[in-house]
Amino acid sequence: MNSKRACDRLSSKLVRSGGDFDIPGKAEKAAELEFETGSSDFWNDQQLAQKKMQELSTLRAQVEQWETLFRRANDALELAQMAEDDPALLTELDQEATALENEYQQGEFALALSGPHDAGPAIISIHAGAGGTEAQDWAQMLLRMYLRWAEKRDFKTSITDMTEGEEAGVKSVTVEIDGPYAYGYLKAEKGTHRLVRLSPFDSANRRHTSFAKVEVMPVLDEDIDIEINPKEIEVEVYLSGGAGGQNVQKNATAVRIRHLPTGIVVTCQNERSQNQNRESAMRVLRGKLYEIEQERLAEEKAKIKGENVQANFGAQIRSYVLHPYQMVKDLRTDVETGNTGAVLDGELDPFMEAWLKQQVGVLDEAV
């Protein structure tokens, strides 16, 4: 019976995904927060209390949704047993199995975006790889792609730093993107992006391969514990090097910060004041340090599990081929499309969603 097999399969997926999503851990955390809200001094810090209440509400909704699916799946299995002796129940079972599968798909993706910073804004940095003008033009193409993706979602974007190429394109650019779940989606884009095309800069019209690295960081709240010792950073101010015109700063307002322990260098020059540029640069630095720590933890977890994975920024994730054929393929999930124009115009959701599901172990096996 197909419906019974579907219910059996769904029940098994719920058990597995409940562990992947740490539903018991979320239930325990919700209980802790529930107890904390009963404290007499809970509302002394209004801002902190509101954040905890929002977290509690999110956890409750996630746990209740999963527990409801569990109950309905078990009920469907009981109905499947009854349907063996009562064919009239088959239609009802088919409808419930379809509804449960749809709700499971919606629920798993919602939980795939339930990381601690997923709901907030993101900082995305694009760096041209080796190859001069070719790579710099590719970096600018990627910048346009992400700006178009954000525009389609009505997200707010702000370019905080950009170093233009000598002939075309950009050497590097940093953009803040603010909108619901901006970081949750964009974290799927972290890694190296490869372009194959006939070069518009080659007089012989030869095929070239270019690379660009994309970094994605969350915009962290000030209360997130990312320790930056003031003695371990060097701050340099200099004249902005942007485009000409009345907006060029006559004073040294651009800021470059070097984090001595890691060697990370971040710059910001697009704000109007030195203080604003420093604040933007520090946001990027905090985000980079957070991502480095997350990668370290992921690598340790993978070692414990005996997995051989790469979680670093440099791992190649996607290939964009414009010649001799048209294809964009994600090397992590095998999602691909021949509509390269749409992808470069910001149609990135299928790639993002497949990767997000894969990260929590819910990408279905091919059948």
Express the helix, strand and coil content of the chain in percent, nearest 5 each. Answer: 50, 20, 30
pLDDT at 363 over 50: no
Residue-level pLDDT at 365: 39
Which fold would CATH assign to domain 230-303?
Double Stranded RNA Binding Domain (3.30.160)
Residue-level pLDDT at 301: 62
Residue-level pLDDT at 19: 59
pLDDT at 305 over 60: no
Confidence of residue 256 (pLDDT cuts 50, 70, 90): very high
Residue 339 backbone phi and psi in degrees, to 5: -90, 75
Residue-level pLDDT at 4: 67
Residue-level pLDDT at 59: 82
Least confident of 8-12, 64-68, 350-354: 8-12
Q: Are 196 and 321 in contact (CB under 8 A)?
A: yes
Residue-level pLDDT at 298: 72
Alpha-carbon dihedral angle through residues 237, 241, 242, 246, given to the nearest 10 degrees? 80
When comparing pLDDT for 82 and 127, which is higher?
127
Least confident of 7-21, 66-80, 152-166, 178-192: 7-21
Residue-level pLDDT at 162: 93
The b-or-e profile of 205-214 (16+ CB within 10 A means b, else e) is eeebbbbbbb
In whole numbers, what is the pLDDT of the chain averaged over residues?
83
- State the distance between the two ends of the chain, measured CA to CA, in whole angstroms: 17
Q: Are 127 and 139 in contact (CB under 8 A)?
A: yes
Confidence of residue 24 (pLDDT cuts 50, 70, 90): confident
Q: Are 172 and 127 in contact (CB under 8 A)?
A: yes
- The owner of tokens 């370019």 is 159
Mean pLDDT of the region 127-131: 88
The second-level CATH assignment, the architecture, of 2-112 is Up-down Bundle (1.20)
Residue-level pLDDT at 225: 67
CATH of domain 122-219+308-359: 3.30.70.1660
Q: Are 96 and 80 in contact (CB under 8 A)?
A: no
| pTM of structure | 0.71
Cα–Cα distance measured from residue 292 to residue 25, given in angstroms and rounded to the nearest whole number: 25
Cα–Cα distances (Å) from 187 to 2, 145, 276, in that order, read 38, 15, 25
Residue-level pLDDT at 337: 98
Cite the beta strand spans of the chain per DSSP E: 122-128, 156-164, 170-178, 191-198, 207-218, 233-238, 254-259, 264-268, 316-321, 327-330, 336-337
Cα–Cα distances (Å) from 16 to 24, 108, 235, 337, 363, in that order, read 12, 11, 49, 30, 12
pLDDT at 155 over 70: yes
Could you tell me whether strands 316-321 and 191-198 are parallel, antiparallel, or unpaired per DSSP bridges?
Answer: parallel
Residue-level pLDDT at 249: 44
pLDDT at 28 over 60: yes
Question: How do the domains of the chain map onto residue ranges?
Answer: 2-112, 122-219+308-359, 230-303
Confidence of residue 11 (pLDDT cuts 50, 70, 90): confident
pLDDT digits (tens, 9 = 90+) for 58-103: 788 878 888 888 888 888 877 777 766 666 777 777 788 888 888 7
Residue-level pLDDT at 141: 97
Cite the beta strand spans of 97-253 per DSSP E: 122-128, 156-164, 170-178, 191-198, 207-218, 233-238
Q: Are 271 and 158 in contact (CB under 8 A)?
A: no
- The owner of tokens 């920024």 is 313
Question: 23-37 and 2-20 helices cross at what angle (nearest 10)?
Answer: 60
pLDDT digits (tens, 9 = 90+) for 34-44: 999 989 899 99
Residue 26: both structure tokens together: 């979320």
If you average pLDDT over each of 20-24, 237-241, 274-278, 348-352, which comes out highest?
348-352
Cα–Cα distance measured from residue 62 to residue 74, given in angstroms and rounded to the nearest whole number: 19
